[in-house]
Structure 1
Amino acid sequence: MAFDSQFQERMSRAMEEYRRSDSEMRMNAPGAEPPKQPEVKKTSEKKEAVDGSVEITFDPEGNTANMILHKPLNGGRPITYQLVMAELARKGITTGIDELDVKDMVEGKVYDTPICVARAIPPKRGENGSIKFRFEKQRIPKPKYDEFGIADFRELDIIVPIKKGDIIADITPPTPGEPGINIFGRAIKAEPGTMPNITVGKNTLMTADGKQIVAACSGHILYGTGCFNVEDTVTVKSDLDISVGNINFDGDVLIKGNVMEGFSIKAGRNIHIEGTVFSSNLSAGGNIVVNGGAISSHVECGGDASIGFCENSDIKAGGKVESAQFAFCTVFCYGELIAKGRTGVISGGKITSMKNVTAGVIGSEKYTSTEINIGDGSVTCARKREAEAELAAAKASFSQANKNVEFLKTRKKRQGGKLTDVQSKQMKTETQNKVFYSVRCKELEELISQLDADLKHRDDLCAKVGGTIYPGCHFCINYLSLDVTQVNTRSKVCVIGDELQIVPL
């Protein structure tokens, strides 16, 4: 019997379903054994070894570097000191490495812990500059004591003299500092020190190297407006008294008040007193001007003296002397003596002038004894003889110095154009002597010429009086003398022939 294909397919599915149902019934039946699982074969897999490693990190500026060691795994090779150093070198880290820390970490097997192993060498900041003054900012008046311990409050020593070029302050410039080195071996710029605040005062200057402040002129030094200043004039805005003390100064002195009794002023140049000088001493290398008067004082100067009035004073000047009144004064001057104005009076005392005397009145109605001396031929002749003797000596010294220079020049040629150290010093000295005596000879020749002119014109000296000459006056011009026995007005005392005469102006 033949089966079609569809029938066979249905039969196959039915048989398969039957077998599956039967199998499930057996498995679920009570007391049935579970089905056996297929055996799985076990296989042993070996893990891969991992070597120890080092991790290096650093900041961009290169100030520090940190290191982390990683532990080897599965029997991997441990990290070594040489490997760490090689890694640092590969990163370019060459400076500031703490090799001891690296060894301790490697040998101590310190893993997974960041530790700083390299540090930059920091720069050292420069030291700040400084300024050290050689003078006190505030001068405290201190009286001088004698050997018996007695204080002299006229000598307070408050004027501090200074010469041109003297050092006022020493300046220490700031240092640039020392550069550092980062961990890559590159320089780290150091911060330089700062310059001190320096103010250069009046008549002072800083040297070219910037290390000192010096005086630009001679004078006296004082502190004010935040710096030291050099003044070429000592100015006292009040009277010169116990609050100021005596003044001894190489420059000019200006007193805007009076000079009180017992004090003194000594100046290298000029003195100007706006008030009056009372029983004091004035001495100047230049001129002296006293707007008021000089009473019972000593006045001496190398130049001219101009005093409002003079009473009982001793005056000596290298130039002319002017005053409205000379009352019982002793005066000596190399220039003219002038009692200013039509009422300018010379009364009493002794007046000596190397040149003319001009006054309004000489003597007084009481016939006060008054001595007037004009010119001194003997003094001029003596000065001329001294100058001629000095000129002869100077010429001889110049000649000798010139011979020595020429001799050394000859020796230099013979010695191959060289001189010994001793000969070089001698050449320098003789050359300086030659220049000095050459200049001195010219100065002496000019002086002798001037003295000759003075001697030639000494007979022209006279005393001119626009007002009255009273009896009691005694005149002496060169070697000639005259006693006045009667009143004379608008007259001139001069040399006529071989005698002194009073003639009308």
Structure 2
Amino acid sequence: MQSLHDVYEIEITDDKLKAFLKQSNKREDPVSVDELKAFIRECGVCFGVKEDVLGTIIESDLQEKILIAEGTPPIKGEDAFLKPEILTKEKQLQEIDDDEPINLREVMEIPSVSKGTVIGVKVERTAEINGTNVLGQEIKAQPGRDLKLRQGKNTRVSEDGKEIVATLDGQLSIEPKVIHVYPVYEVNGDLDLKVGNIDFVGNVNIRGNVPAGFKIVAKGDIRVRGSVEAAELIAGGSIFVEQGIVAQGKGLLQAKGDLHTSFINQGIVKVEGDVHVSQSILHSTIHAQGNVYCKERRGNIVGGNISAVKGIEVNEVGNSMSTPTSLYLGISQEMLQKQKQLEKKLKQLNDENGKLELLQLKLTEKEKAGLLKPQERIMKLRIRNTMIESKNNIDEINEELLELQDVLHSQNEASIRIYKDIFTNCDIFFGKYRRKIVSKHHYVMFKLDQGEIVLQTL
């Protein structure tokens, strides 16, 4: 009697989450479902078997391999995160829905807060759920990361570690893991020579335009009601420009947070967060460590070089005149250099902390023996304060390194999503890989798969 091992082969994917059956030789004898099930078990596949498929297999010869078992993938626990409490108050600012376009006018109207106001709450991480592969083996899920709230400028953490509270009256500057409250410097009109350049430890609000040649440096957010020309805006938080950027290839908009604006024409932008543009990005140079979004209204990118680590979402890329346009995805050399610098600084701090611990131990032993001099007591206090400050710096560097690691891992999932058209003479780059667009495509996505930039229909 013919053995089923002579007729069928089972192919299991590398992650062991799927098993396929393929026919290697012609079947001579009839096979029952029970015999096929026994054969599958002999091959080690014992979980997620699709019994409804087995009946169709025994009725005729297989022309191609067929999925016969599917495991349950693990579900990663969601990380704890900081939720700005001010965004939940409907009278102050409607909560932003990820599925709805952001109203830039509302974003511009971030309200002021009073001393003692709870401005952020910690949302706890969720439990992970383990999976099971087709061999019946448990797949451990990755737990969500916890988050220790830390105080920002002019804020404090509540005793239970679950809330951020303002310690003075001011305006919020919101980052993913910390919220600051800054005083506000406001210009009621255009920035001009009477005001001059601005360098302010807080938020800066310009109710008019920022002409070419001016410079604004803010520790917090910069908000401009009008437009920005070839000026330099550097923000420790985010930048919001209501009426767009026309920079003539000069100036710079740089932020540790995000950039929100209506359009960018010949601009140079460098942000550590996301870029949100509601209309167009024209002949500009954009570097974002997060995502670039340009999909509201017309939502087109024409000309220039657009670089994002996590992804790009846009309606149109290029135009019917085949204007050269380049989109880049993946980790930049600058980010890799930053990782090396942080690792070097972390080692230096740990080495210094080790030396301070030894010195503190010697002073403590002298204190126990009653031999500690007054100057040494002062030194012991200074060492303790230095170690506390160093520990805080080490925690912050470790957090930054974890965030960089997340970015490094997320680049494997990075994609370019085009909701309307991409025209000819556009280039797609994923790291060292390049794909030139030689024909027009509609409603597509580009991803990197095994060293090749692949195109998929959305």
The TM-score normalised by the length of structure 2 is: 0.57
Deviation at 1:504, TM superposition (A): 0.9
Using a 3 Å threshold, how does the CA distance of structure 1 residues 346 and 500 change in structure 2: closer, same or farther? same
Between the aligned partners of 1:313 and 1:375, the Cα distance in structure 2 is 21
Partners of 2:325 and 2:452 lie apart in 1 by: 20
8 Å Cα contact 2:309-2:411 kept in structure 1: no
Aligned residue in 2 for 1:309:
263
In structure 2, the residue matched to 1:102 is: none
Q: Which residue pairs with 1:502 in the alignment?
A: 455
Q: Does 1:333 align with 2:288?
A: yes
1:441 & 1:346 partners in 2: Cα distance? 41
Query: Using the alignment, how far apart are the partners of 2:264 and 2:301 within structure 1?
Result: 10
Counterpart of 1:260?
211
In the alignment, structure 1 residue 242 sits paired with structure 2 residue 196: no
Match for residue 366 of structure 1 among 293, 310, 321: 321
1:439 aligned onto 2:395:
no
Alpha-carbon RMSD across the aligned residues, in angstroms, is 2.4
- Pairwise mapping of residues 211-250 of structure 1 onto structure 2 (< 5 A)? 232-250=183-201
Per-residue CA deviation, residues 460-502 of structure 1 (Å, 9 max, x unaligned), is 1111110111111111112322111110110111112211122
CA deviations over 1:223-267 (Å, ceiling 9, x no partner) = xxxxxxxx9222222222234332222211112122233333222
Output the CA distance in 1 between the equivalents of 2:335 and 2:231: 32
1:405 is aligned to 360
SS at match of 1:238: coil
**Structure 2 unpaired stretches of 5+:** 1-153, 155-166, 171-181
Q: Is the 8 A contact 2:331 2:408 kept in 1?
A: no
Q: Which of residues 337, 344, 349 is equivalent to 1:394?
A: 349
Q: State the partner residue of 1:274.
A: 225
Q: CA deviation at 1:218?
A: 10
Q: Structure 1 residues 235, 434: closer, same or farther in 2, change over 3 A?
A: closer
Work out the CA distance in 1 between the residues paired with 2:265 and 2:276: 13
Determine if contact 1:377/1:458 at 8 Å carries over to the other structure. Answer: no
Q: CA deviation at 1:379?
A: 5.0
CA distance in 2: counterparts of 1:484 and 1:357, whole angstroms: 16
Q: Which has the larger radius of gyration?
A: 1
Counterpart secondary structure, 1:474: strand
Equivalence map 1:205-216=2 (5 Å)? none
Aligned match of 1:355: 310
The answer to whether structure 1 residue 427 and structure 2 residue 383 are counterparts is no
Change (3 A) 1:232 1:378: closer
Query: Residue 475 of structure 1 aligns with which residue?
Result: 428
Judge conservation of contact 1:342–1:359 (CA < 8 Å) in 2: no
Contact 1:376–1:477 (CA under 8 A) maintained in structure 2: no
Q: How does 1:98-247 map to 2 (within 5 A)?
A: 232-247=183-198
- Displacement after TM superposition at 1:395 (Å): 2.1
CA shift for structure 1 position 399 = 1.7
Number of the residue aligned with 2:239: 288
Q: Aligned letter for 1:401? A: L
Does the 8 A contact of 2:198 with 2:216 survive in 1? Answer: yes
User: What are the Cα deviations for residues 261-283 of structure 1, in whole angstroms up to 9, with x where unaligned?
Assistant: 33332222111111112232222
Gap regions ≥5 residues in structure 1: 1-202, 204-215, 220-230
What's the CA shift for 1:459?
1.5
Q: 1:301 to 1:456 in 2, by over 3 A?
A: closer
Q: Quick one: percent identity of the two aligned structures? A: 23
Task: In structure 2, give the amino acid aligned to 1:275.
Answer: G
Question: Within 2, Cα distance between the matches of 1:438 and 1:236?
Answer: 40
Count how many residue pairs are aligned between Structure 1 and Structure 2: 278
**Aligned equivalents of 2:320, 2:451: Cα separation in 1:** 30
Distance 1:449 1:482, change over 3 A: same
